A and B are shown apart, each in its own frame.
Chain A
Amino acid sequence: GAGVSQSPSNKVTEKGKDVELRCDPISGHTALYWYRQSLGQGLEFLIYFQGNSAPDKSGLPSDRFSAERTGGSVSTLTIQRTQQEDSAVYLCASSLQDRGVLKNTGELFFGEGSRLTVL
């Protein structure tokens, strides 16, 4: 597709259940990010993938959160044993970036987000 695609767009789940959120980045983009945005708040960094390098997981709030990126393309964010405080919009973004010198703007292209509601 032309843009970043996320699914599902909306997910309602019960406390304690596991959820998987999917992100399909723009073809050719080497960098992929997951952010969390609570209602009316800023973007909280969760995890970042760059090519074949080890992901930067420094933003994951707990060990209930994990993410993987298969084949350098599609990414899945998994939240185990969901809690009510996990309710938020989960945004995925991709970017064309180069390591070392900033050769381009490297702006992020965002998906429309997955709204998660934990009851």
Chain B
Amino acid sequence: AQKITQTQPGMFVQEKEAVTLDCTYDTSDQSYGLFWYKQPSSGEMIFLIYQGSYDEQNATEGRYSLNFQKARKSANLVISASQLGDSAMYFCAMRVAGGFKTIFGAGTRLFVKA
């Protein structure tokens, strides 16, 4: 069975510093995709970044990068130069090619301090 684990319920980071949000996953499939979504207090879900299981390079999108370590089954999100607007809930998610169901982790709440 597929599973996503986010072990950090809450994280604090100083404005302008970098922060890493942890995500580990479990699947027996070889083809899968990993996603990170942001959910501000307004409740909307915002797609941030994607990593395919066959992608050789780590994904990057602006200040977001994904530290993909396939052998360890981890897909940590790195946010560089944190901003106050980054304060939100962050969810790691996975989709496998066969079933296509996307499952989510429990989330990490990030607090950016001024």
Question: B-contacting residues of A (Cβ < 8 Å)?
Answer: 31, 33, 35, 41-43, 45, 48, 50, 56, 58, 89, 91, 93, 95, 97, 99-102, 105-110, 112-113
Contacts and interface: CB of A to CB of B under 8 A. Distances in A.
A91 B54 CA distance: 30
B84 interface: no
Contact of A108 (B31, B32, B44, B102): B102
Contacts of B19: none
**Residue among A48, A91, A107, A110 with max Cβ neighbours from chain B (10 Å):** A107
11 contacts: A42-B105, A45-B104, A48-B101, A93-B45, A95-B102, A102-B53, A106-B95, A106-B100, A106-B102, A108-B45, A108-B47
Given A102-B31, A102-B33, A102-B52, A91 B45 contact: yes
Interface residues of B, number: 25
B106 A45 contact: no
Given A41-B106, A42-B106, A107-B50, 17 more contacts: A33-B102, A35-B104, A42-B91, A42-B104, A43-B91, A43-B104, A50-B100, A93-B102, A97-B100, A99-B100, A101-B31, A102-B32, A102-B52, A105-B50, A106-B95, A107-B35, A108-B45
